[in-house]
Structure 1
Amino acid sequence: MKKLLLPMLLLVLIFAMIPQQISASSQLNGFDRLKEINEENQVIIVNNNGGLQAVVTTYEKVNGEWRQALPKMSAVVGNNGISTKLKEGDGITPTGVYTLGTAFGWGEKPNGVKLPYRTSTSNDYWIDDPASSDYNKWITYSGNPTTRWNSYEKLKQPLYKYAVAINYNTNPIVKGKGSAIFLHVWRSSTSPTAGCVALAEENVTKLLTWIDPAKKPIIVIGKTSEINTLLGEHALKTAKKFVADAQMKANKLRGNYDASSINDVEISPQFSSDYSAAKTAVLNAQEKVNSLQNKQELQQGLDAAKTYQLRAAYFIDAVKVGQNEVTPLKEKVEDFVQNDSFTPELAESYHELSAKIKKDELLIGKVYGSETREFMAKALVMEAKIIRETVIYEVSIFELLHDINELISQNQQAAAIKELAKLDRLKKRAIEIKDAGNKLHPGKYPDLPGMKTFLEKYEEETRSNLN
């Protein structure tokens, strides 16, 4: 019976998971281009199909997936519906995608509101007079408002018991294009607004407590058929900004990864800072571009920025490996040369140095510009290669003698004798290399009598063991 229960339980779990997966997708309510929104994590959608009635749907991104957050809410819009707003007083609720401003109201601040909240008084006004320099601004004024403005909104009134400003016509403010666009409490479910979005008081407070400025909330207003287009256009506009920022920051790197002398092979603090900024900007832009449906053109622009960032990366990596990995090992081997002393540790350091030189040469090979590569090789690995070659045959002779002794210990006399025959050729080649090296770099390939004595003694012991 237990054997049957386990497969049945697995089937129950599998079928239980399927509706959840379908539900996660269906919660987009047809607004599939929400998936392109990458910068913001909260979206309020206000959509209608004409008239004053609208539906407000909220979405939140959780673990990288968009889900409906609150139950759908009824709303009302301008008496002339939702459209492109052209002028002050046209009774139109503006189509578009907007950020949210300050929450406000004369009622007690609801618990859990995370937006900046401002309590309104009888001295607070929102100015909708296109002739005023205060147009589309909250102004606190204790005098007679009619002597200062031709038109204004009193903020201490029933409709604004709870509200949040929608950042329409705010940056820059265009006089006469429309002002005081809020999400606020409605008069009734059948009363239009003058251009705002209005809901029942309980739903306004629900929204105010749900909205989290840390999640960069936006509000999307439009007809049902327009919402996906508005979402896509907003995502594209956002991605363009990020790509432009990446291009600007990457362009600042140009010239820093070029070297016209050995002295140019360095990473200044400013170069390092500019590179970090460019790398972050490129990564952020790529994230935004990846979410778009149509991204080919933007990707090409971003790839140009990546080219400069990548050139800088190769230059920086080569310098860091040269300075932080090659140089310390070069100095370690150099100490053995200067002290003219041979120990097994020298052989280990020699091989470590060889590996780091190879690593840096591979990086230098990726650096942009043949002249720059030439100066980088001189600055970062040339001295290390000379130091390595100074002891290349001392190390080779030591390791050959070590291998021969291993063969002797294994009673492989014939193999040991065969290997010993290589020794004379190796010693002869060592002399030739030092002579050739000193012709190219005078004094860089010194005789090392101390190491020579050590190796001669080791050879003598080896031959003795063989005999």
Structure 2
Amino acid sequence: MPVRNVRPGPRVLAAALCATLALIGYVKVSHDEPAPTAAPAPGARAAAKNAGPLAPPSVSAAPAVPSAPPGVGPATRMRIPDGTSQVFVVTGRTKDTNVATATLYERDPAGRWLRTAGPWSAHNALRGWTDDHWAGDLRTPTGVFRLGDAGGRLADPGTKLPYDQDEEFVSPGVGFLGEPLEGSFDYVVAIDYNRVPGTTPLNKERPLGLERGGGVWIHVDHAGPTQACVSLTPEAMRQLLRALDPAKEPVIVMGPAAQIGR
């Protein structure tokens, strides 16, 4: 029986061709095409078009730690010893005023200056302040001075400072307004202006000379201006004496607000 030539159908030819190409290495599988993505939701394209650039991640800046107590400017701060962590700030409104405000600040371990006593009302010298003090000018010297010695006519109220109780802490007579001065030196803290540190406030040695004044103290207020000192109420004096600590190297910063704020 004659053999009949039968042509394979299209499907058979296609299958055979694929098998042949696979055997000789012509079939290439692509890995470079991106995977299909889902169509954007309605309105997403408009929202993306209208959106601005992405904001950078927010970073919370740590609050700045002041390097000095309130009201003390950079130039004055430079005069405060590095080891000092207790500052008594006494400020007047102008260089010619004899009433002031006094506040005690302490620096905590984090470097923050915190108010620990006051503010208290205070008096200073009759004619105000000066940065060039001379005996009898009736002005309080401005600047930064150490506070290291105390004393008074009355017994020690509990201060950590060396305290000299002595009957010589007397203040007879009257003040500039006719007010009695009695009791003004019941408590005093010596301001280290033209004096020998580490001695009783009664010590009359004047390293800069007698003409430059001396005996500048913080003492009990007598309801009027002083000759050169700073004065506080009796209760404020007791609080100040109990608070001052030689381990904290206390200083007084005093003068007109505008001057010490520089």
Same fold (TM over 0.5): yes
Shift of 1:100: 1.6
How far off is 1:121 after superposition? 1.3
Shift of 1:193: 0.4
User: SS at the partner of 1:73?
Assistant: strand
TM-score if structure 2 supplies the norm length?
0.60
Q: Does 1:202 align with 2:235?
A: yes
* 1:32–1:93 distance in 2 versus 1, CA, 3 Å: closer
SS of the counterpart of 2:237? helix
* Structure number with higher helix proportion: 1
Aligned residues of 2:170 and 2:182 also touching (Cα < 8 A): no
1:75 maps to: 122
- Residue 46 of structure 1: SS of its match in structure 2? strand
User: Do 1:84 and 1:92's aligned partners in 2 also have CA atoms closer than 8 Å?
Assistant: no
Tell me what 1:219 maps to: 252
Q: How does 1:48-447 map to 2 (within 5 A)?
A: 48-50=92-94, 51-63=97-109, 64-111=111-158, 113-122=159-168, 157-170=182-195, 172-188=207-223, 191-229=224-262
Pair 1:77–1:40, CA change in 2 (3 A): same
Aligned equivalent of 2:15: none
Structure 2 distance, partners of 1:45, 1:125, is 26
Distance 1:180 1:35, change over 3 A: closer
| 1:6-21 matches, cutoff 5 A | none
What is aligned with 2:20?
A: none
Matched position secondary structure for 1:72:
strand
Give the total of aligned pairs: 177
The corresponding residue for 2:17 is none
Taking only aligned residues, the RMSD between alpha carbons, in angstroms, comes to 2.8
- Partner amino acid, structure 1, of 2:108: V
1:30–1:194 distance in 2 versus 1, CA, 3 Å: closer
- The TM-score with structure 1 as length reference comes to 0.35
The alpha carbon displacement at 1:59 in A equals: 1.2
Q: Please tell me whether the aligned partners of residues 89 and 178 of structure 1 are also in contact (alpha carbons under 8 angstroms).
A: yes
1:39–1:228 distance in 2 versus 1, CA, 3 Å: farther
For the residue of structure 2 that corresponds to 1:115, the secondary structure is coil
User: For the residues of structure 1 that align with 2:73 and 2:214, how far apart are their CA atoms?
Assistant: 31
Offset, 1:118: 0.5
Q: Conserved in 1, the CA contact under 8 Å of 2:71 and 2:257?
A: no
Counterpart for residue 201 of structure 2:
none
As a proportion of its length, which structure holds more strand? 2
Which AA in structure 1 matches 2:147? L
Higher relative contact order, structure no. (Cα contacts within 8 Å, ≥ 6 residues apart): 2
**Offset, 1:125:** 7.9
Indicate the residue corresponding to 1:45 in structure 2: 89
Question: Quick check: which has more Rg, 1 or 2?
Answer: 2
